[in-house]
Amino acid sequence: MNHATLRVATPVHTFTQLLSSTRRGARLARLLTVTELRSRDASRELVERAELVVAELAANAVLHGRVPGRCFRLTLALDPAARLRIEVSDARGDLRPLPRPTDTDPLGTTGRGLTLVTALADSWDCVPYPPSGKTVRAVLTTPDSGGPVRDAPSPRP
CATH number at residue 93: 3.30.565.10
In a domain, 5, yes or no: no
pLDDT at 12 (0 to 100): 85
* E strand segments, the chain: 13-19, 72-78, 83-90, 123-129, 133-141
In a domain, 150, yes or no: no
- The residues near 10 (Cβ < 8 Å, ≥ 6 apart) are 79, 80, 81
In a domain, 49, yes or no: yes
- Region 65-73: mean pLDDT is 91
What's the maximum distance between 2 C-alpha atoms anywhere in the chain?
71
How many domains, in total, are found in the chain?
Answer: 1
In a domain, 152, yes or no: no
In a domain, 127, yes or no: yes
Average pLDDT of the chain to the nearest whole number = 83
The model's confidence at residue 3, banded by pLDDT at 50, 70 and 90, is: low
Model pLDDT for residues 101-157, shown as the tens digit of each residue: 555 666 655 667 888 899 999 999 999 988 889 999 999 998 765 544 444 444 444
> pTM of the full predicted structure?
0.80
Phi-psi region of 82 (alpha: psi -120 to 50; beta: other; left: phi over 0): left
In a domain, 79, yes or no: yes
Q: Backbone phi, then psi, for 132, in 5-degree steps?
A: -140, 10
In a domain, 106, yes or no: no
In a domain, 3, yes or no: no
Q: Which domain holds residue 83?
A: 13-100+112-145
Model pLDDT for residues 58-68, shown as the tens digit of each residue: 999 999 888 88
